[in-house]
């Protein structure tokens, strides 16, 4: 967790790994067994359910939800309020419920 910032009200569940220079913003939730890569930003109120993998450089927007077992690709952007229900490739931008490319 070198250089990681875990802000007020954020929760990191057991058996999760947080990479370098990660921001887990206010009231975000990273549930059990999540793997968060380097340089990831998890915005306020985002929820990563169990066993989520977020690859390096990805951004998870405010209030977004990533359901259990999903992988968010490197450099991807998940818009505020989106619900990610399936794996995302590297470098994609998604929004909506369910999240779709934009």
Choosing from 15, 17, 32, 41, which is the catalytic residue? 32
Q: How many residues does the chain have?
A: 102
Q: Sign of torsion, CA 99 90 66 27?
A: negative
Q: 32 an active-site residue?
A: yes
Strands 100-101 and 93-95: antiparallel
Write out pLDDT tens, residues 68-99. 999 999 999 999 999 999 999 999 999 999 99
Structural domains in the chain, sorted by start: 1-70 (2.160.10.10)
Write out pLDDT tens, residues 5-61. 999 999 999 999 999 999 999 999 999 999 999 999 999 999 999 999 999 999 999
pLDDT higher than threshold 80 for residue 62 = yes
What pLDDT does residue 11 have? Answer: 97
Give, for 60, the enclosing helix (H) or strand (E). strand 59-60
What pLDDT does residue 55 have? Answer: 98
pLDDT higher than threshold 90 for residue 2 = no
pLDDT higher than threshold 90 for residue 1 = no
């Amino acid at each position: 967790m070198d250089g990681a910032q875990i802000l007020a009200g954020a929760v990191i569940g057991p058996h999760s790994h947080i990479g370098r220079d990660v921001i887990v913003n206010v009231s975000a939730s990273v549930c059990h067994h999540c793997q968060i890569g380097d340089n990831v930003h998890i915005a306020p109120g985002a929820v990563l359910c169990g066993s989520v993998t977020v690859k390096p450089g990805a951004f998870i927007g405010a209030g977004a939800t990533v359901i259990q077992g999903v992988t968010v690709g490197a450099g991807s952007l998940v818009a505020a309020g989106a619900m990610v229900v399936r794996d995302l490739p590297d470098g994609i931008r998604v929004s909506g419920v369910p999240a779709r490319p934009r």
